[in-house]
Amino acid sequence: MVLDGLDLDLPDGSVTALMGPNGSGKTTIGRLVLGLEHPDAGAVTGLAGRRVAATFQEDRLCEQLTAERNVRLVLDRARAADAVAALRAAGLDDDALAKPVRDLSGGQRRRVAIVRALVAPADVVVLDEPFKGLDTAARERLLALVRERCAGRTLLLVTHDAAEAAALNATVVTLP
């Protein structure tokens, strides 16, 4: 078993980065936290009643919707304006906001997926390799947005990049 004997504590408001080689179980842990998978043995505890949001390794966007509509899927009407503000903070311009996401570049699509997780009314945010495929400027901009939008919330970052973990002042958990 890849995760045999694992104990992971994610205190409220903490930032934790899971690091390790491919196949070490980083994504599986994220999926366990999200409730998308269930352990063969043991338990995931402490998440009852907590709302979760995520960015997966794939963008998982609604292709026919615009960036704004994709983000608004996780917002109530009172916070709808937050979608555009957050997308602009992520570096999307008016032209990108007007197109269906299927017509956006890979980097633009990635930004939409990250923003959707960040604006969701969640207590726990899981970001699985969120910055892959982004250039340095976009990565820096998104790291700042993650710091801002996740302040006070529990953040679990799955990454291979120690610089990303350091930029978020994360407690690093290294899996063998």
pLDDT in tens, 106-152: 999 999 999 999 999 999 999 999 999 999 999 999 999 999 999 99
Residue 161 belongs to a domain: yes
Domains in the chain, number = 1
Note the pLDDT tens digit of each residue in 72-117.
Answer: 999 998 888 899 999 999 999 999 998 999 999 999 999 999 999 9
Answer yes or no: is 157 within a domain: yes
Report the predicted TM-score, pTM, of the whole model to 2 decimal places: 0.93
Neighbours of 86 (CB within 10 A): 24
1 part of a folded domain: no
CATH number assigned to the domain comprising residue 25: 3.40.50.300
* Burial annotation 112-130 (CB, 10 A radius, 16+ → b, else e): bbbbbbbbbebebbbbbbb
What b/e readout covers 17-52, taking b as 16+ CB neighbours within 10 angstroms?
bbbbeeebbbbbbbbbbbeeeeeeeeeeeebeeeeb
* Domain assignment of residue 144, yes or no: yes
Contact 118, 90 (CB under 8 A): no
Structural domain including 74 reads 15-174
8 A C-beta contact, residue 34 and residue 122: no
49 lies in a domain?
Answer: yes
Does residue 97 lie in a domain region?
A: yes
Residue 8 in any domain: the answer is: no
